[in-house]
Structure 1
Amino acid sequence: MFGKNLKKIRSVHGMSQQEFAELFDLKRGTLGAYEEDRSNPKLETVMKIAKHFSIAVEDLLTKELTVNKLLRFNEAITTGKVTEHESSFTGIPCITEAKADDFIAGYTDANNISKIKLPLIYLPNVEGDDKIALVVNDLTMSGGASGFLPKDMIIGQNVPLNDIATTNRELVVVVTESALLLRKMSYQGDKVVLKANHPGVEPVALNTAEVKGIWKVVHVFRYTMPTGENELEQRLAQLENTIASLRQRPGW
């Protein structure tokens, strides 16, 4: 049943053969041979797949897996007619560290998020196709009591470029031809100045024409609960970054 189960797992998770093969360091042709029962996998490969999807090795090899099992539904429960709830969550494109470069290149080229392949997140009470999610991956905005740490996530709402003045003194996500920045913005005529919280990070000044997209931060999700220990770690990281920045200056 291994080949048949692989196809079903891919279908349930919306993965192409290429995506699935790369996840387990396989060639797409090798995966195709497994799915068509033209080749038998190594035990190591079977165990990797079983562990990744939390499936028993015996079940993966010998039983026809059901969609319910793959989605962790209880098959012993019988239900009546399924009706769609009036309010369903809207998927929000999420920019992770791994997808940041793709987003910069894709948005600059197409100026349309829908044409960029990004993972989606689904959150209650957050809707709208004018939003993006960004996973913080550095310490540039870590200063202050409400600073952001890696793995925190923000939700930004798109601002038309002709309304850029409305984001003055707001926390924003800005995309240019070469960068994606989470900063506090100041608007000064035909220029914007993007400031970081971290004392070792210099402000970025841009002409408004250099701004290709802008999103005002409207929601924040913390990866960890703020504690005194978190704050100490944050301050130590800031100090290390400041020292590293100073060492790069002439005459250090």
Structure 2
Amino acid sequence: MSFIGKNIKKIRGVKGLSQQAFAELFDLKRATLGAYEEGRSEPRIDTIIKIANYFSIPIDDLLTAELTVNALLQFRADLTLEIEVMEKEQFPHIPIITPKNTIDYIKFHDKEKFIKDLPVLQLPIAVEGKLRAYTVQNLEMTQYEKGLYPGDVVIGRQRLLTELTAAGTNDGVLVLALIGNELVLRRMYEVGEQLVFKADHKNIADKTFPKTSLKELWEISSVYFNRLPELGNPLEDKMEFLEREFRKLKDKM
């Protein structure tokens, strides 16, 4: 009898990993991992080896014995041995649209199983409601070397167009919109029965769609910049320091 399914579930519990997070570590689908844990199927030997190596567990123990919490914690006295009393900070699981799955997302955005199989982010954000993350893929929202660049990730809360209209924030709000057969990350404006999406990049033309073609709307609430922020110019800092010192000398004269 193999204990692999029970042990995978035990490892996830001790390490605080969701099924999705664990599956992504080993290039598995969440549904496949669920089948392992429920005993409906077993992983291939190469997957078993990866799991054993990743968590430093002997393969024999992984397959032939039910692992204990104590063993998984590697006998660390500073950690509780009762997983039920461990307090874990919970961050929302945010499905993310990437360059690889964008086309499929446009087709299957309304399929619950497809959404569950998307990769997810876990970030310490306090935004309530249904969330979606999106990897920026172009330079449309850049202006004078500022703005959003490819690789940055925006996070939006799902909204109805009527909600934004009622709040008076529908003009110029940054949104991710699934409209027609496109995903558009731009500033949105209502013009009669049309929605106009404007890029921050001055050389990119507007996109206009009828309101009736809007399928999903996500109001962007936060951004993960996939690069270091501007930390200041050393030369400017030195000039500012010299100016301060000069003012001090002038005041003493």
Say yes or no: TM over 0.5.
yes
Deviations 1:110-144 (A, max 9, x none): 6xx78722333222242423322222233222333
Cα distance 1:96–1:46, how it changes in 2: closer, same or farther (>3 A)?
A: closer
Q: Normalised by the size of structure 1, how large is the TM-score?
A: 0.61
Is 1:162 aligned to 2:165, yes or no?
Answer: no
Q: Tell me if the contact between 2:26 and 2:47 (Cα under 8 Å) persists in the aligned partners.
A: no
Cα distance 1:134–1:21, how it changes in 2: closer, same or farther (>3 A)?
A: closer
Is 1:49 aligned to 2:50, yes or no?
Answer: yes
Is 1:63 aligned to 2:61, yes or no?
Answer: yes
Deviations 1:216-236 (A, max 9, x none): 1111121111349xxxxxxxx
Higher CA-based Rg: 2
Greater alpha carbon shift after TM alignment, 148-157 vs 192-201: 192-201
Could you list the runs of 5+ residues in structure 2 that have no partner in the other structure?
13-17, 29-35, 232-253
Q: How many angstroms apart in 1 are the aligned matches of 2:188 and 2:26?
A: 42
Give the corresponding residue for 2:130.
Answer: 130
Is 1:205 aligned to 2:208, yes or no?
Answer: yes
Indicate the percent of aligned positions where both proteins have the same amino acid: 25
Q: How does 1:12-51 map to 2 (within 5 A)?
A: 12=12, 14=19, 35=42, 41=45, 45=46, 49=50
Give the corresponding residue for 1:187.
Answer: 190
Q: How many angstroms apart in 2 are the aligned matches of 1:61 and 1:48?
A: 7
Could you list the runs of 5+ residues in structure 1 that have no partner in the other structure?
24-30, 229-252
Is 1:97 aligned to 2:99, yes or no?
Answer: yes
Q: How many angstroms apart in 1 are the aligned matches of 2:197 and 2:215?
A: 14
Letter in 2 for 1:116: I
> Could you tell me how far 1:169 is from its partner in structure 2?
0.8
Match for 1:221 among 218, 224, 228? Answer: 224
Q: Secondary structure at the match of 2:107?
A: helix
Q: Tell me if the contact between 1:137 and 1:150 (Cα under 8 Å) persists in the aligned partners.
A: yes
Deviations 1:13-61 (A, max 9, x none): 627xx999975xxxxxxx99x948xxx95xxx4798369x6345xx453
Q: Tell me if the contact between 1:93 and 1:131 (Cα under 8 Å) persists in the aligned partners.
A: yes
Q: How does 1:136-155 map to 2 (within 5 A)?
A: 136-155=136-155
Cα distance 1:127–1:21, how it changes in 2: closer, same or farther (>3 A)?
A: closer
Q: How does 1:99-118 map to 2 (within 5 A)?
A: 99-107=101-109, 109=110, 116-117=115-116, 118=118
Q: How many angstroms apart in 1 are the aligned matches of 2:68 and 2:230?
A: 42
RMSD: 4.4
Letter in 2 for 1:89: F
